[in-house]
Structure 1
Amino acid sequence: MVEVNCETDFVARTPDFQQLVEMAARGVLGHCQGASGTKLLLREDELAQVRAGDGGELLSDHLALAMGRLGERLSLRRAGWLRAPGGFVATYAHGWVPAGPAVAMGTYGALVACGGPGAGPPPAELRELGRRVAQHVVGMAPTALGTPEDELGGDTETRLLAQGTLLEPGVPLGRYLRERGGLQVWDFLRFQCGEEPPQEPPQEGSAPPG
């Protein structure tokens, strides 16, 4: 997931800008696939040094060319990546930019590392449940994971699994997932365009089993 900023809505809707976003997303994916661990965050200066494809030019070079074509200041703000060994990464993007064939775009985005209760590929129902959790992360802006046994918190609750579920606010998300197939949530990442990122990288969530 990458955050690329511009100054106007008009530029955000142009093919040039959206191609830059897609190029950055693909470059980050290739860069992170060789990394260790289950989470990686890149600051603006680190993102600028990522290459667009094997042997491609730096993203900072593509950024400069896009600014020249569009006549507006752009920035490669940050990027984040999650891995879910034995599970899958659910995604959700929210905003007014229509979803493209390869990269979803919007003003909010979330990644959720999760998996099913057993071995093997998760069924479609659990994958859809993972997408709903990612949607919840965008809407409720949690800052910590919590545990599946957490009781329901109040309106200011920041632990994901203790927050009231979007569709059933009276039920904590952890219990909601247990009652619908046992989807496990291991970690998550949320971006909002223009927000000030935390000074310290967020801690990794619970590690996948095994």
Structure 2
Amino acid sequence: MTTITAAMVKDLRETTGAGMMDCKAALTENAGDMQASIDWLRKKGLSKAAKKAGRIAAEGLIGAVTAGNKGVVVEVNSETDFVARNGQFQGLVKMIAQVALDVGADVEKIKAAKVGSVTVETAVADAIATIGENMTLRRAASLEVSKGVVSSYVHNAVIEGAGKMGVIVALESAGKTDELATLGKQLAMHVAAANPLALDSAGLDPATVKREKDVLADKYRQQGKPENVIEKIVESGLKTYYKEVCLLEQAFIHDSGKSVAQAVKEAEGKVGGPIKVTGFVRYALGEGIEKQETDFAAEVAAVSGQK
């Protein structure tokens, strides 16, 4: 039998906004499986959250850089936030982002690329030796358009182009690049704040859509709704879901009275031509990485030879 800890209950409560006892019941019912417990709470109408956000656990910096019609975003991790505030580390992140802009988003190609007389991999190893803490290039992504711009936004920037979150957005258009760049920056800020999962419903993972449909259907079955009614309610619920997670259907953060798609369409007048949002990438530092929690007192005891 799975042991349900107070920490597990706390995490589920923070994720869903459900009550303490409901969270414990959900975890018990689902053998401690966090995602299954979230779905269980949602089916009973007890969860206030649609999805679990990845816990931000790793330290380091996100670097983002653009040049005209292309842009990249990279994540470089360190062991502590103290190193992320180190000037040498910050310079390393900006250098890696610039290299990625030139060679592409393949991590191994970035590591093998030359900077002066050394490779990026060697530069990272030298920084580790100097600063005394492990560092790693975790991931990279790039966007490019044939005509138009790729814009970026860095949230909580510690230096220009590097911070705790980085976003790039690609806009395809033959219109004025300065107006496009302004719109691109606004959209990148929107992506940072709203965290869409895809451009539109067609870009969503089919498994994610199916899970959403199943959760909605089970929720209303438990309320005793007939199947023919459930089908209509689920379709309506999916439309609401798409407005929450699809970029073009989300309410624009700079003008909540219109959708992002409407804001882009309206901007075509200023730009002087059609605009197509072709893609976006949003990196939040450490998402998806669980940092091992340590007992500081136990660590000190271990070092001193005590038990």
Tell whether the structures are fold-level matches, with TM greater than 0.5: yes
CA–CA distance in structure 1, aligned partners of residues 282 and 88 of structure 2: 25
Deviation, structure 1 residue 170: 3.4
- Distance of 1:123 and 1:60 partners within structure 2: 35
Task: Kindly provide the CA deviation profile for residues 29-76 of structure 1, in whole angstroms up to 9, marking residues without a partner as x.
Answer: 2212xxxxxxxx435xx26633134x7433221111111111112111
1:187 aligns with 2:266: no
Higher helix proportion, which one?
2
Tell me which residue corresponds to 1:94: 155
Q: Residue 85 of structure 1: SS of its match in structure 2? A: coil
1:3 to 1:16, Cα distance in 2 relative to 1, 3 A: same
Following superposition, the deviation at residue 154 of structure 1 comes to: 5.4
Give the aligned partner of residue 42 of structure 1.
106
- In structure 1, C-alpha distance between the alignment counterparts of 2:183 and 2:132, rounded to whole Å: 42
SS in 2 for 1:107: strand
Matched residue pairs, number? 175
Aligned match of 1:105 in 162, 173, 177?
A: 162
Q: Which has the larger radius of gyration?
A: 2
| Maintained 8 Å contact 2:200/2:242 | no
Asked if the contact 2:103/2:110 (under 8 Å) is kept, the reply is no
Distance 1:127 1:93, change over 3 A: same
| Worse-superposed segment, 171-180 or 56-65 | 56-65
2:224 maps to 1:163: no
| Contact residue 90 and residue 130 of structure 1 kept, 8 A | yes
Matched, 1:67 2:128: yes
Aligned counterpart, 1:135: 189
Q: Which runs of 5+ in 2 are unaligned?
A: 1-72, 202-238, 269-273, 290-307
Q: Offset at 1:153?
A: 4.4
1:4 alignment counterpart = 76
* Per-residue Cα deviation, 1:63-99 (whole angstroms, up to 9, x for no partner): 1111111111211111111111111101111114031
Report the aligned-residue RMSD: 2.4
* Secondary structure of 2:255 counterpart: coil
**Which residue of structure 2 aligns with residue 115 of structure 1?**
172
**Counterpart Cα distance in 2 of 1:50 and 1:165:** 40
Structure 1 gap segments, 5+ residues each: 33-40, 198-210
Inter-partner Cα distance in structure 2 for 1:52 and 1:26? 12
The answer on whether the counterparts of 1:130 and 1:183 sit within 8 Å (CA) in structure 2 is: no
Output the amino acid matched with 2:87: P
Inter-CA distance 84–141: structure 2 relative to 1 (3 Å threshold): same
Relative to structure 1, the CA distance from residue 85 to residue 57 in structure 2 (aligned partners, 3 Å threshold; closer, same or farther) is: same
Dislocated runs of 4+, deviation >4 Å: 152-156
Alignment of 1:170-209 (within 5 A): 170-181=257-268, 183-196=275-288
Secondary structure of the corresponding residue to residue 159 of structure 2: coil
Q: 1:83 to 1:2 in 2, by over 3 A?
A: same
Contact 1:108 1:193 (C-alpha < 8 Å) held by counterparts? yes
- Cα distance change, pair 88–67 in 1 and its aligned pair in 2 (3 A): same
Name the structure where strand makes up a greater proportion of residues: 2
- Does the 8 A contact of 2:155 with 2:165 survive in 1? yes
Matched, 1:81 2:168: no
- Give 3-state SS (helix, strand or coil) of 2:151's partner: strand
Counterpart residue type for residue 190 of structure 2: H
Decide whether the 8 Å contact of 1:112 with 1:189 is kept in 2: yes
Offset, 1:169: 2.2
Match of 1:50, as an amino acid?
A
Offset at residue 28 of structure 1 (A): 1.2
